[in-house]
């Protein structure tokens, strides 16, 4: 291994003792491969097994905490105790390869595949449609329903503990329900769950506190609670970097084990709320100030790019699309074979790479998402 890559393979400890063997995280990525009944499929287990040998930590694709929180086909479930054996099969697969297993938990809210929610009852913070789907207006959740969903996040955390996960990641990014409550675009409420930027924090913080309460009550060993967030929205009104600084300040004050930014490119610059003298990732790391570990992500393909993220003071690096194209990415860097790393996707390589049919079709039908070659 090149000496310059050594920082990627230093150990790191999260929380009160969860030791990661290196600084590399498998990013959470939807794979559209679960069984019809919401259980984890054999194809999913094979997919994760193929990618869990190198990374120090694996964050699963998102799983839904309530029946009407499911957002797309082939998404595995965690909303009932009947799903615990299914959840355990995935945790065992990941941990059996040497990585720590983190279950990402979410509710889709309004940002879902059309016609996918039972009875068509699409819900959100407010009755505001997305700009991408203006014909679908969600129903604003009642206070009672909001409180129930908060409890559901806690119950899913308990299931994650019983299934053997090392932690959960609260999915507050990418336009899903928690994100919707924080966003001035989707949250127009005037009750205790809305208002100014501090009022819009009420739901995210309530979810976090419930998850932490359940973890403290049920976990018998170190159990990690992380939170993923999107730093900006394109919509007006929408989340700005200034809003996100308020979010970060609030989250770090709650004793989180890590924050995980959602970015398409770690080099991207702010739109609003901070100037372009620094990248978003640099602004975020500066604001966090080392109080909570940050996971950086976004278009990291070569090892030198991952090292660059660490050099910015960010302690952990998540790799997503690259680990689909090159499942042995970590191992090849560690053994000095980085010249063999694949950074494009061959149309004939599905079986070799162990990619489920649903994910493969999604990749092939989305030009520009992956660098696909014939």
DSSP conformation class of 108: -
Q: Smallest Cα–Cα separation from 155: which of 111, 207, 118?
A: 207
Q: Which domains does the chain have, with CATH numbers?
A: 3-373 (3.20.20.70)
Q: Smallest Cα–Cα separation from 106: which of 173, 165, 160?
A: 173
Q: What angle do CA 79, 81, 87 make, to 5 degrees?
A: 75
Maximum Cα–Cα distance for the chain, whole Å? 57
pLDDT score recorded for residue 114: 63
Residues of the chain with pLDDT under 50: none
Lookup: tokens for 114 = 């059309």
pLDDT score recorded for residue 132: 85
Beta bridge partners of 224: 167
Please state the pTM of the whole predicted model. 0.97
DSSP conformation class of 356: -
CB 300 within 8 A of CB 268: no
Lookup: tokens for 308 = 């660059």
Question: What is the torsional sign of CA 251, 217, 25, 2?
Answer: positive
Q: What angle do CA 106, 164, 247 make, to 5 degrees?
A: 35
pLDDT score recorded for residue 120: 78
User: CA dist 316 to 130, 138, 214, 261, 339, Å?
Assistant: 32, 36, 26, 11, 23
CA atoms within 13 A on the CB side of 126: 19
Annotated catalytic sites, by residue? Answer: 176
pLDDT score recorded for residue 187: 98
CB 112 within 8 A of CB 62: no
pLDDT score recorded for residue 58: 98
Length of the chain in terms of residues written: 374
DSSP conformation class of 199: G
pLDDT score recorded for residue 282: 97
């Amino acid at each position: 291994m090149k000496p310059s890559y050594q920082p990627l393979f230093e150990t790191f400890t999260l929380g009160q003792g969860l030791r990661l063997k290196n600084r590399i995280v498998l990013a959470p990525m939807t794979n559209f491969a679960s069984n019809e009944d919401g259980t984890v499929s054999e194809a999913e287990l094979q997919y994760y097994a193929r990618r869990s040998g190198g990374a120090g930590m694996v964050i699963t694709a998102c799983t839904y905490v309530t029946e009407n929180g499911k957002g797309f086909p082939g998404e595995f479930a965690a909303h009932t105790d009947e799903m615990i054996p299914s959840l355990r099969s995935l945790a065992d697969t990941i941990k059996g390869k040497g990585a720590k297993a983190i279950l990402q938990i979410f509710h889709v809210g309004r940002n879902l595949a059309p016609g996918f929610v039972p009875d068509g009852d699409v819900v959100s913070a407010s009755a505001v449609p997305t700009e991408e789907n203006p014909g679908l207006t969600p129903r604003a959740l009642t206070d009672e329903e909001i409180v129930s969903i908060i409890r559901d996040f806690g119950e899913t955390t308990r299931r994650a503990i019983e299934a053997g996960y090392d932690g959960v990641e609260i999915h507050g990014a990418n336009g899903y329900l928690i994100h919707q409550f924080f966003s001035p675009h989707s949250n127009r409420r005037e009750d205790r769950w809305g208002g100014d930027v501090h009022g819009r924090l009420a739901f995210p913080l309530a979810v976090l506190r419930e998850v932490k309460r359940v973890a403290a009550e049920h976990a018998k060993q170190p159990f990690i609670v992380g939170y993923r967030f999107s730093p900006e929205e394109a919509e007006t009104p929408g989340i700005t970097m200034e809003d996100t600084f308020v979010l970060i300040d609030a989250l770090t004050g709650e004793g989180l084990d890590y924050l995980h930014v959602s970015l398409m490119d770690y080099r991207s610059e702010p739109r609003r709320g901070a100037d372009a003298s620094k990248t978003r990732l640099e602004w975020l790391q500066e604001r966090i100030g080392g109080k909570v570990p940050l996971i950086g992500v976004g278009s990291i393909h070569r090892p030198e790019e991952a090292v660059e993220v660490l050099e910015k003071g960010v302690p952990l690096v998540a790799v997503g699309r690259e680990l689909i194209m090159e499942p042995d990415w970590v191992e090849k860097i560690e053994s000095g074979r980085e010249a063999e790393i694949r950074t494009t996707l061959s149309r004939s390589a599905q079986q070799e790479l162990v990619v489920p049919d649903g994910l493969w079709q999604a990749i092939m039908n989305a030009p520009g998402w992956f660098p696909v070659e014939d």
